[in-house]
Amino acid sequence: MASFVDPTRLDPRSLDPLLDRNVAWAQAKTRDDPTYFQRMAETQTPRYLWIGCSDSRVTANDVLDLDPGEVFVHRNIANVAHTSDMNLLAVLEYAVAVLKVEHIIVCGHYGCGGIERALGEERTALVDYWLQPIVMLYRKHRAVFDALPGPQARLGRMCEINIEMQVRRVAATPLVENAWVRGAALQIHGWIYGTHHGLLRDLGPTLSSLAERDALPSIDERVLHPVEPRSSLRRHAIEAFAAGSPSF
């Protein structure tokens, strides 16, 4: 006769609660849509590649309200596009050449822990090698950032600049260049997410050709002369950011 196991006395190292949540989730999905997993198993045809931060609060499908299969995802600390990162390059190649995505979204977020570390003084871990391009840009323009009103303003501005820098890096990869030369309908976007209100903001501009990429001001110019985007489609998001938050 099987003995009763008190769930309150389970090994605290056990991940059974997560497995139980998975069962409940799968049952709910099929209850609402009996063919859901059948469709998911057949193929993926995403239109979007999301290059985002590893932060557990910023997940592409949740933020965009998209089902699995609709967005292809690559994430790392501080959403950095290292051109020597074989993981990123493999994801980028598969997304562009095989999945034929139409949009690459580089998305960071305010209050990013990786960016915050890059603005600090400690350099003792492997992550600091990863963040070095951000560190170097910050040091180069330290006087500009120091002139901003407080650490949160500096962090927020660097989060924005980092996204713009990574958009330029993605747009400079031979994979993307070749796609544009072939006439692929591929666009690159730079977005930022506010964890304090859940809204996305398009930092602009959208890139869809070599000419548009080459016409961009340098990242150094963007640090020295920031431009505030005023898209009417995102006015509600801009107003929310302007309202102020301890995360910005």
Catalytic sites, residue numbers: 53, 55, 57, 109, 112
Q: Count the neighbouring beta carbons within 10 Å of the beta carbon of residue 167.
A: 27
The answer to whether 156 touches 142, Cβ cutoff 8 Å, is no
Please state, as a whole number, how many other Cβ atoms lie within 10 Å of the Cβ of residue 176: 21
Angle 132-133-139 (CA atoms, 0-180°, nearest 5)? 85
- E strand or H helix that includes residue 167: helix 151-171
Which three-class secondary structure state does DSSP give residue 200?
strand
CA distance 131 to 174: 23
- Among the listed residues 241, 233, 243, 154, the one whose alpha carbon sits nearest the alpha carbon of residue 199: 241
Strands 187-193 and 71-76: unpaired
Residue 29 has a CB neighbour count (10 Å cut-off) of 15
- Beta strand 187-193 with 103-109 is parallel
Cα separations in angstroms, 108 against 22, 37, 53, 56: 28, 30, 6, 12
